[in-house]
Amino acid sequence: MSFLIHNFSKFPVVKNLFSKSGKYGSYSTTTSHNIPDIIKCTLIPGDGVGPELILSVQEVFNAAKVPITFEPLFFSEVNPSLSTPLETVAESIRKNGVCLKGITAYPDYSRTGELQNLNMKLRQTLDFYANVVHVQSLPGVKTRHNNLDLVVIREQTEGEYSALEHESVKGMVECLKIVTAKKSRRIAKFAFDYATKNKRKKVTCVHKANIMKLGDGLFLKCCEEMSLLYPRLEFKSMIIDNCTMQLITKPEQFDVIVVPNLYGSILDNLCSGLVGGAGVVAGASYSAKSAVFEPGARHTYSEAVGKNVANPTAMLLCSVLLLRHVNLTFYSEMISNAVRNVLKEGKIRTKDIGGHSSTHDFTGAVINKLQLTPPKTKG
């Protein structure tokens, strides 16, 4: 796989992103609607079309007067000479508590010999153990299945992503899959708590315990034990093979899915395809103290850089999740409603969802749909 690597100083989109003003205006906004403080958020533009999508968010935030100021940090494995050190990025997220992030690319081979890529290192450093992808049908986006509403909750600090690989003898590589009771219980509790808080009815544990009887068997056992503490929630288990088929044929049967790391990565992408693709699904990763918001299907779409064709829906919906997380409910609802109204109206569509509109066209349409005045209260 090849990635487009840009000269930072010659890439106008990223250059504008890191200046206080540019084509999309200032990235700092002023306080409005009686919000007492401006919230600071770490901003990682990502690779591929990530910077262009982040700029769409900034333009919408400026138009909506969202009281957030961004701390932009360039973080890239495919352009390491320009990348901010991992420790600096991690400290920024620790300090701010929230981060809006474009997708970061990484090559199929290691340039340094290290097995962990930057994404994996960031998750391990800050313990972003829970990845949540809410897969929901959007108005006006035609897909095979309608009215889908399911959540994939993925453990993302162990499993096959532990980067424990070695070549014991020439031509034979061993890759270790790590599963611990502590982290399996933790993600299981997160999933059941999420289901309870969000008025969900069922949690499905997806596994391969029929073959990996110890590793996936432990994950399944921890989920089964946790389910006993939540008697009001229905609990089911399903083998990953069957789950992929059921998601394609009868996805409406799923509510909340809790899943180990590798399977979760696959299901995130599969489920995104059910509702329109990588351009329309938001995601979030949580630790005990911080949260990162980035698209649910992690594709950089590098071949579209500079062509003004990328769909900003997923990144805008990520910003909605961010605003909701920091209790800026008025702004989150305003932007969410604007995005959904543009999609429902159907006049402005990017190529990936059946239209011919540009990234700028879609962003402008969302801005035109913003309802800037809070609703008046009766009495």
pLDDT tens-digit map of 92-145: 999 999 999 999 998 777 766 677 788 999 999 999 999 999 999 999 999 999
Long-range CB contact pairs, 339-342, < 8 A, 24+ = 339/313, 339/366, 339/369, 340/138, 340/139, 341/369, 342/366, 342/369
Structure tokens at 146: 């309608």
Phi, psi for residue 153 in degrees, rounded to 5: -115, 115
The whole-model pTM stands at 0.88
Summarised one tens digit per residue, pLDDT across range 57-74 is 999 999 999 999 999 999
| CA–CA dist 21, 205 (Å, integer) | 47
| CA–CA dist 290, 128 (Å, integer) | 8
The C-alpha torsion from 355 through 359 and 360 to 364, rounded to 10°, is: 70
pLDDT tens for each residue of the chain, 379 residues long: 333 333 333 344 544 555 444 333 333 333 344 544 799 999 999 999 999 999 999 999 999 999 999 999 999 988 888 999 999 999 999 999 999 999 999 877 776 667 778 899 999 999 999 999 999 999 999 999 999 999 999 999 999 988 888 888 999 999 999 999 999 999 999 999 999 999 999 999 999 999 999 999 999 999 999 999 999 999 999 999 999 999 999 999 999 999 999 999 999 999 999 999 999 999 999 999 999 999 999 889 999 999 999 999 999 999 999 999 999 999 999 999 999 999 999 999 999 999 999 999 999 999 999 987 765 554 4
Instruction: Provide, for the chain, the percentages of residues in helix, strand and coil under a 3-state DSSP scheme, each rounded to the nearest 5.
Output: 40, 20, 40
- Of 134, 144, 153, the C-alpha closest to 280 is 134
CA 29 to chain centre: 24
Residue 109's contacts (CB-CB under 8 Å, 6 or more residues apart) are none
Phi, psi for residue 313 in degrees, rounded to 5: -55, -50
- Other beta carbons within 10 angstroms of residue 169's beta carbon come to 7
- Other beta carbons within 10 angstroms of residue 113's beta carbon come to 6
